[in-house]
Amino acid sequence: MKYVFGPVHSRRLGLSLGIDPVQDKTCTLDCVYCQLGATAVKTLKRRVYAPADAVVDEVRQVIATGQPLDYSTFSGTGEPTLNVELGRMITGIKAMTDIPVAVITNSTLLHLDEVRSDLMQADLVIPSVNAVSAQVFARLSRPLPGLDLPKMLGGIETFSRVYRGRLWIEVMLVRGINDGPDELQELARFLDRLACEKIQINTVTRPPAESDCTAVNDQTLEHARKMFGLRAEIIGSFSNRTAALPGSDPCERILALVRSHPCTLEQICDACGLKREEAEAALQELRRRRSIEQAEHGAQIFYRASGR
Ligand code: SF4
Q: Do 106 and 148 lie in a common domain?
A: yes
* SS3 of the chain: helix, strand, coil, percent, to 5: 35, 20, 40
Q: Pick from 22, 24, 25, 29 the residue to mutate for probing ligand 1's pocket: most ligand atoms within 8 Å of its CB.
A: 29
What ranges make up the beta strands (E) of the chain? 4-10, 14-19, 26-27, 41-42, 71-74, 101-105, 124-127, 166-173, 198-203, 232-234, 241-242, 292-297, 300-305
Q: Do 216 and 282 lie in a common domain?
A: no
Strands 292-297 and 232-234: unpaired
From ligand 1's centre to the CA of 259, what distance in Å? 14
Q: Do 231 and 297 lie in a common domain?
A: no
The residue ranking higher by pLDDT, 249 or 236, is 249
Indicate the number of domains in the chain: 2
CATH code assigned at 183: 3.20.20.70
Choosing from 195, 222, 239, the residue where a domain stops is 239
End-to-end CA distance of the chain: 19
Q: Is 65 left (phi over 0), alpha (psi -120 to 50) or beta?
A: alpha
Q: Do 208 and 192 lie in a common domain?
A: yes
Which atom from ligand 1 is nearest to the alpha carbon of 39?
A: 5
User: Whole-prediction pTM value?
Assistant: 0.86
Residue 62 sits in which domain range?
4-239
Choosing from 213, 239, 265, the residue where a domain stops is 239
What is the full DSSP assignment across 54-121?
Answer: HHHHHHHHHHHTT---SEEEE-TTS-GGGBTTHHHHHHHHHHH--S-EEEEE-STTTTSHHHHHHHTT
- pLDDT (0 to 100) of residue 35: 87
Residue whose Cα lies nearest atom 6 of ligand 1: it is 34
Q: Do 146 and 26 lie in a common domain?
A: yes
Which amino acid type is present at position 22?
V
User: Is the distance from CB of 203 to CB of 221 less than 8 angstroms?
Assistant: yes
Q: Do 53 and 120 lie in a common domain?
A: yes
Q: Do 121 and 161 lie in a common domain?
A: yes
Q: Do 130 and 183 lie in a common domain?
A: yes
| Confidence band of 308 (pLDDT split at 50, 70, 90) | low
Residue 303, pLDDT above cutoff 60: yes
Q: Do 171 and 192 lie in a common domain?
A: yes
Rounded Cα distance, 144 and 167, in Å? 26
From ligand 1's centre to the CA of 302, what distance in Å? 19
Tell me the per-residue pLDDT of 153-202, one tens digit each, with 9 for 90 and over.
Answer: 999 999 999 999 999 999 999 999 999 999 999 999 999 999 999 999 99
Choosing from 220, 239, 258, the residue where a domain stops is 239
Rounded Cα distance, 109 and 24, in Å? 19
User: Is the distance from CB of 206 to CB of 260 less than 8 angstroms?
Assistant: no
Q: Do 295 and 256 lie in a common domain?
A: yes
Tell me the per-residue pLDDT of 111-151, one tens digit each, with 9 for 90 and over.
Answer: 999 999 999 999 999 999 999 999 999 999 999 988 999 99
| Confidence band of 247 (pLDDT split at 50, 70, 90) | low
Which atom from ligand 1 is nearest to the alpha carbon of 78?
A: 7
User: Is the distance from CB of 65 to CB of 246 less than 8 angstroms?
Assistant: yes
CATH code assigned at 267: 1.10.10.10
